[in-house]
Amino acid sequence: MGGDTVTVKVEEREIEEVEYEEMNDGDDDDDDEGDDATEMAIHWVQRRSLMPRTLESQITLEKTPSYFVTQEAPRRIFNMSRDTKLIVVVRNPVTRAISDYTQTLSKKPDIPTFEGLSFRNRTLGLVDASWNAIRIGMYALHLESWLRYFPLAQIHFVSGERLITDPAGEMARVQDFLGIKRLITDKHFYFNKTKGFPCLKKPESSLLPRCLGKSKGRTHVQIDPEVIDQLREFYRPYNIKFYETVGQDFRWE
Ligand SMILES: Nc1ncnc2c1ncn2[C@@H]1O[C@H](COP(=O)(O)OS(=O)(=O)O)[C@@H](OP(=O)(O)O)[C@H]1O
């Protein structure tokens, strides 16, 4: 379970990255699912003790993608601090599954095809909802576990699509949710043609602009369009339930 911690110094108007050694291989993938409960609990205690001291004027952010889909995470976070604000970046679950597969394939080139892994029975159109790449995108199910502990008002959903097309707008919503001044604005982003994505610049500093790493924004594996349609159908009820629960239409259909 890889994760990063960031301290946002609200008053000093400065964002400081605090890097920690990863607990394991630093991989953000969800291949830690096999961890047994004890190991997870130890990781949790270690992780908490690694959180930096936070002054009244600071907010500490921790980023661990797998929390959203980890059964025990809502209870543990609630027990640590019930006031924790939660931010979840969600994107079209079909694109998310292909992105996930593309990432795994880059590390393990011998895995079966996406089409092969997606179905329990392709002829019958039976999607394999136990495959992580598919399961993670069933957002409505995962959200249920969180809503048992946290009110919806404490959870903010970032649109992964808008984060690419309008990063400043999406960041404005994040800052409003956190109750901090809108310090990150369109001045902090520019579109990098080579990368094909928005990248960061820090207008007030001499630091060079910075794009996300090579593993973010890769060309996706080509998938049979029929399979894409089948997955779109599969996700539709989960997406609709998700939109209804959060009161926001992410327009994935
Ligand atoms: N600015 C910018 N630059 C590059 N990539 C961007 C950006 N904004 C969003 N994205 C999308 O982020 C996707 C990778 O994020 P991950 O989900 O793998 O990150 S993490 O593992 O949760 O940290 C990555 O998915 P892929 O395109 O499938 O690689 C991107 O589409």
How would DSSP label each residue in 110-179?
TSPPHHHHHEEETTTTEE-TTSHHHHTT-HHHHHHHHHTTS-GGGEEEEEHHHHHH-HHHHHHHHHHHHT
Query: How close is the Cα of 217 to the center of ligand 1, in Å?
Result: 5
C-beta 217 within 6 A of ligand 1 = yes
Query: How close is the Cα of 183 to the center of ligand 1, in Å?
Result: 22
pLDDT of residue 20: 35
pLDDT of residue 30: 38
Instruction: Output the furthest CA–CA distance in the chain (Å, rounded).
Output: 59
Q: Which helix (H) or strand (E) holds 72?
A: none
Task: State the sign of the Cα–Cα–Cα–Cα dihedral 77, 145, 159, 95.
Answer: positive
d(CA 120, CA 170): 37
C-beta 52 within 6 A of ligand 1 = no
d(CA 133, CA 105): 12
Q: Give the burial class of 94: count Cβ atoms within 10 A of its Cβ; 0-12 exposed, 13-18 middle, 19 or more buried.
A: buried
Number of H helices, E strands in the chain: 9, 9
> By the 8 A CB rule, do 242 and 143 touch?
yes
For the CA of 164, the closest atom of ligand 1 is: 8
What are the distances in angstroms from CA 21 to CA 50, 70, 107, 120? 10, 21, 21, 39
C-beta 163 within 6 A of ligand 1 = yes
Give the relative orientation of helices 93-107 and 225-246 as an angle to the nearest 10 degrees.
Answer: 120
Query: How close is the Cα of 160 to the center of ligand 1, in Å?
Result: 8
pLDDT of residue 32: 39
pLDDT of residue 29: 40
CA-nearest residue, atom 12 of ligand 1: 216
Domains and CATH numbers, the chain: 57-181+225-246 (3.40.50.300)
The answer to the question of whether 217 is labelled as a binding residue is yes
Instruction: Classify each residue of 139-168 as buried b or exposed e, where b means 16 or more C-beta atoms within 10 Å of its C-beta.
Output: bbebbebbeebbeeeebbbbbbbebeebbe
Tokens 């205690």, residue located: 45
Per-run averaged pLDDT (10 residues), the chain, 253 residues: 62 38 37 52 65 86 94 95 96 98 97 97 95 98 98 98 98 97 94 95 75 94 97 98 98 93
The answer to the question of whether 219 is labelled as a binding residue is yes
pLDDT of residue 15: 38
pLDDT of residue 23: 32
Write down the ipTM of this complex.
Answer: 0.95
Q: Give the burial class of 78: count Cβ atoms within 10 A of its Cβ; 0-12 exposed, 13-18 middle, 19 or more buried.
A: middle
pLDDT of residue 253: 85
The answer to the question of whether 216 is labelled as a binding residue is yes
> Quick one: tokens of 193?
């043609």
Q: How would you classify the pairing of strands 86-90 and 126-127?
A: unpaired
Q: What is the pTM of this model?
A: 0.85
